[in-house]
Amino acid sequence: MRARQVRHRVVALLPPFIREPLKRTRDFARTYFAPIAYHGTGRFCPVCEKTSSRFAGYGAIPRKDALCMRCNSLERHRLLWLYLNGKTNLFDGKPKTMLHVAPEACLEAKFRQRLGGGYVTADLFNPRAMVKMDIMDIRFPDQAFDVIYCSHVLEHVADDRQAIKELHRVLKRDGWAILLVPILGKQTFEDPSIVDPEARVQAFGQADHVRIYGPDYVDRLRDAGFTVEITRVADLAAPDDATLMGLGPLSGEIYFCVRQG
């Protein structure tokens, strides 16, 4: 096993109160040293709209062209940003209420600037979030939001079907949600008896994951009452543009979910 893989695996096993300070130290180094080390025009990030010579490797098994060292966006964030701007009405200037679960720093400020007071962030553990919230028991009334964005959260949740039902419940009729998970298996696998952190790393890829999703994830969304449209990289960017933005098979897919009824 490569040294970097070992390092990422060790970090994945650390408790949050240790892992988060390490992340802040890493982010500080990126903020102040990346503009020099990554100066160039080989890559373009649509989130921060800045160029760099390359994107950095990232992940438990490091993948190339993943992390923008300017704003810390990953492939999925860049794909999402293209989709939101090109395929949705989120930024049409009309008032909207939006729930952002587990807000990513690279997107939060942009959403807040464009959506103003209708933008709400929520998380069970993150002290930056506006609301402390368990998505299996959302303390908002029915049909509270026009838009919901929840990315790479459900793989951490004990009962993801209940969480999806709750997200459906608080979404307005004809509102829409983007609910993203990493699709890493041929079909979804979960085993509640796997509780040891190292065993979870082996089974699910990360110590705080409780399942690994396959393409049948879409069935869970539909079972909750969503109609689902799936968008891939090729639907949003030509091959040369996708390369420039560091988008590829590991960027994932957009699951655009609309509540009907």
Label residue 20 exposed, middle or buried (CB < 10 Å: 0-12, 13-18, 19+).
middle
Reduce the secondary structure of 62-93 to three states and give it as a string: CEEEEECCCCCCCHHHHHHHHHHHHHCCCCCC
Q: At what angle do helices 105-115 and 75-87 cross, to 10 degrees?
A: 20
Q: What is the pLDDT of residue 5?
A: 46
pLDDT of residue 39: 85
Say yes or no to pLDDT of 14 above 80: no
Domain ranges of the chain: 3-67, 75-259
Which among 121, 113, 165 is positioned nearest to 147, based on CA atoms?
121
The model scores a pTM over 0.75: yes
As given in the structure block, the two tokens for residue 156 are 């951490």
The verdict on domain 75-259 having CATH code 3.40.50.150 is yes
pLDDT grade for 75, boundaries at 50, 70 and 90: very high
Strand 171-180, strand 145-151: pairing? parallel
Mean pLDDT of the chain: 90
Tokens (6 digits) for 147: 């838009």
- In the chain, how long is the greatest CA-to-CA distance? 52
Q: What per-residue confidence (pLDDT) applies to 115?
A: 96
Say how many C-beta atoms besides its own lie within 10 A of residue 140's C-beta.
16
* Pick from 259, 261, 223, 231: nearest CA to 247: 231
The percentage of residues in the chain with a pLDDT greater than 70, rounded to a whole number, is: 87
Overall average pLDDT of the 196-224 stretch:
96
